[in-house]
Structure 1
């Protein structure tokens, strides 16, 4: 069954072009030209991916993205003519999975859609009787890599669990700070980097053949399934 894409774009000609290209690549689509109408629809519907313009009437794209992240982890690609760095980072910190600046080609957007869907896919089903390559043990706060146990501290386990929950998604340092360190201690980017470094060391000691956590320059960190 083909993926279902929600296109939220207030420029009719651009929205039509995007839909034509998506349909030509066997995607199903629905289109909204207002942020508030799209947000209302998303409250009770679950597309496979959202193409979201930043500047929208009714409700801007950043608010739509923020609201949707409170509801689900559906992949979101933000599209906008605003190219300032702060806008890009703000979009990612609110949970966007990718960011495309206008002007762009419809062919490029379709390629990005396919790439994000590939990254967000869960690892291939494990054959009957086989063990998954990476598992989490909530009770022991440990991770197993190819059945090799990895003992983690509470913070390290929470950090890995967050990244592991959405393979391929880039988590900004600020997002990690807001969701891991909830006791209001004073921490900063260096704290996150330090825990990532220690976590990577422990994971590598268990299996140095796979790199589960990758840095994305200027954006943050992501988990990649082996």
Structure 2
């Protein structure tokens, strides 16, 4: 119920921007970087854009995702030193199958997390004069369940932790974790910091320039992933 309230709130919130810090620890290696996130509009008209960049010049990483203004199309592209990829999802076809799904923004991300993970632990955390809710969960269906939200994690990310602002429900930190009998190991950590009202002045966030020429249409795969109870990844 708590997370559904968070989804409902951010589904109706127009104009917000945040800086992003991210770290990934996989296959015995670590990467990290920064970026920016913004969202605009409410309800079915809501859109979001995010750009993430690595800080290691030896192994450059660039990731971008946006919902285009011209049509409800989710566009994702990324490039590394050795590979590049782009995909598109026609959201109108997805929503016709899963009508409770928010199309964009924080609301969509939180909705997807509730579809994939069973959150059953809530703790209050005080940092200075601010209060947060630390919410932990494990993947629905256990370790054999397919990955959710981040496909490259495969089955390893069988846990997730959210750090929400107690007043607004804004997710300041999202972690995908490997949960074992020894505890929880963070695989991916994403922090949204310097949160402010209004849409970012960086026009590339919501109107991305194409860096990868050919995009794969993943509409059907995406639709199957978000069907209630499917638990797939995208």
Please indicate the TM-score interval, normalised by the length of the shorter structure: under 0.3
Give the strand-richer structure, 1 or 2. Answer: 2
Which protein, 1 or 2, shows the higher relative CO under an 8 Å CA cutoff with sep ≥ 6? Answer: 2
| TM-score (normalizing by structure 1) | 0.24
Give the helix-richer structure, 1 or 2. Answer: 1
Larger Rg: 1
